[in-house]
Amino acid sequence: MDYKILVITPVKHINGLQGILESAGSVTYLDDPSMEEVISIVDDYDAIFTNPNKSNVFIGKDLLDAAKRLKVICTASTGTNHIDMSYAKKLCLPIISLTEERDVINRISSTAELAFSLTLASLRHVVRSYKAVQRGEWDYEKFIGRQMNYLTVGTIGYGRLGAMYSNYCKAFDSRVLVYDPYKKVDDQGIEQVSSLECLLKESDVVAIHVHVTEETKGMINKSSFDMMKPSVVIVNTARGDIVNELDLINFLKANPDARMATDVLANEVTNKKNNPLLKYSLKSDQIIITPHIGGMCIEAQEIAYGHAASLLDKFIKNIDEKNNR
């Protein structure tokens, strides 16, 4: 059987990926389709290949109800908040992701590197000073920053990326605190704290490295901000929904020396244009926002997308084998 695969994320620039996908079936490539465009054609496809980094398409009830012959969704990501997982489960629809592909994702450091880059950019006012130079200003007094080796960095979540980020900061001689109630930290020179409150009160930099779940959604909120230092730098390369953005904006307004650097926004897939943090950033220089580029390195994309496509190819071939028995 010739399986039809609908790709709804840009992939043609990734070396070798088209060959893997096309070995699995007939492929239609849509680099940046609208929701309406996908819904209008999805009933003709057996598989969807996606990624949340550049997509306006939330794979939810409307799309899934239109996908009458869909057999699998494959996402080249560890996160799955661009898919209605509960509704897909109700439909008994398999989801292929990289969430549990540890041997593969341990080779990808790009998001941790971005988090560290955003930390330095915020501490040294890189974006703010560059914009000032573009305006014809040349005045260092406005942009006196901080040295990492005098600071305490607090990492929330000590999975793969949290551990990488923490070790980058340790290499710069920062004091590193970690809060993760589900992991034991054995790395020498990194301190595990027993409460989020302790981390928030002591840290000059707070970096978020947790998956978005019902437990973590909105976990950084007014009560969290009330515990932070007024000059804190907050870094989020995890998911936007972990931070209550309206509470964050109020905190930034009340604390002009505080900074936020984020690669993610709440409701990023469905309604990013109306995001309150994005709107606030247009009139405040306290914020750096990047367009979910954490995994967007040549090496990371080749590893992640290539492995996801191989998993999809294997899944489809297994269906064929079962049908031919």
**pLDDT tens digit sequence for 286-303:** 999 999 999 999 999 999
> Which H or E element spans position 49?
strand 47-50
> With the C-alpha atoms ordered 261, 264, 268, 269, is the resulting torsion angle positive or negative?
positive
pLDDT digit string, tens, across residues 206-217: 999 999 999 999
Query: Which pLDDT score is estimated for 1?
Result: 72
Query: Which pLDDT score is estimated for 81?
Result: 86
Residue 225: DSSP 8-state: H
Q: For the packed helices 298-323 and 110-123, what is the interaxial angle rounded to 10 degrees?
A: 150
Query: Which pLDDT score is estimated for 273?
Result: 85
Give me the average pLDDT of each 10-residue run along the chain (325 residues): 93 95 96 94 97 84 97 94 95 96 94 98 98 96 97 97 98 98 94 98 98 94 98 97 98 98 90 91 96 94 96 92 71
Fold classified for 110-289 = Rossmann fold (3.40.50)
pLDDT digit string, tens, across residues 44-84: 999 999 998 767 799 999 999 999 999 999 999 988 989 99
Query: Which pLDDT score is estimated for 269?
Result: 77
Determine the Cα–Cα distance for residues 19 and 312; give it in Å rounded to an integer.
Answer: 13
Asked whether the beta carbons of 76 and 305 are under 8 A apart, the reply is yes
Determine the Cα–Cα distance for residues 266 and 314; give it in Å rounded to an integer.
Answer: 34
Determine the Cα–Cα distance for residues 296 and 70; give it in Å rounded to an integer.
Answer: 28
Written as six digits, the tokens of 198 are 């302790």
Query: Which pLDDT score is estimated for 2?
Result: 87
Percent of the chain with pLDDT over 90: 91
Asked whether the beta carbons of 48 and 25 are under 8 A apart, the reply is no
| Other Cβ atoms within 10 Å of 214 Cβ, number | 6
Mean pLDDT over each residue of the chain, to the nearest integer: 95
Query: Which pLDDT score is estimated for 325?
Result: 65
Tokens 């007014």 sit on residue: 222
Q: Please give the CATH number for the structural domain made up of 4-101+298-323.
A: 3.40.50.720
CA angle, 93 then 96 then 102, to 5°: 145
The CATH 3.40.50.720 domain(s) of the chain lie at 4-101+298-323, 110-289
Written as six digits, the tokens of 265 are 């926004």
Closest alpha carbon to 53 in 90, 14, 24:
14
Determine the Cα–Cα distance for residues 285 and 86; give it in Å rounded to an integer.
Answer: 39
Written as six digits, the tokens of 290 are 């990047």
Residues 6+ apart with CB under 8 A from 187: 163, 166, 167, 170
Asked whether the beta carbons of 55 and 82 are under 8 A apart, the reply is yes
Query: Which pLDDT score is estimated for 32?
Result: 87
Give Cα 145 to chain centroid, integer Å: 27
